[in-house]
Amino acid sequence: MANLRKAARGRECQIRIPGVCNGNPETSVLTHYRMSGTCGVGCKPDDTQGAIGCNCCHDAVDGRIKTPFTHDELRLMHAEGVLRTQAIWIKEGLIKT
């Protein structure tokens, strides 16, 4: 399988939090979606469970910056970003269905 962390660099943010997203692909990284049963203390989820995210959206979903959005709204935007990212990876053949 491809290195999705490397593949996320230099790409358009897929989390797209209004008023937060900086729109700068140079800051994009793979932003893991944390969910019970798929990760734990010191253990990240599988890279297929991540969204391409700019550093600002990454900070927002990880709770490092304040936003006007609720925790649930941020989780939904992050989850939608994961789905958009998976569609990109599938189209490019980086992950298989």
Residue 82 is part of which domain span? 4-91
Among the listed residues 32, 58, 71, 78, the single catalytic one is: 32
pLDDT digits (tens, 9 = 90+) for 1-11: 679 999 999 99
The secondary structure element, H or E, covering residue 50 is strand 50-53
Q: What is the pTM of this model?
A: 0.88
CATH of residue 27: 3.30.50.20
Q: Is 32 considered catalytic here? A: yes
- In angstroms, the CA 20 to CA 53 distance is 11
pLDDT digits (tens, 9 = 90+) for 31-84: 999 865 555 566 677 888 999 999 999 999 999 999 999 999 999 999 999 999
Looking at the 3D structure of the chain, how many domains does it have?
1
Question: Is residue 42 a part of any domain in this protein?
Answer: yes
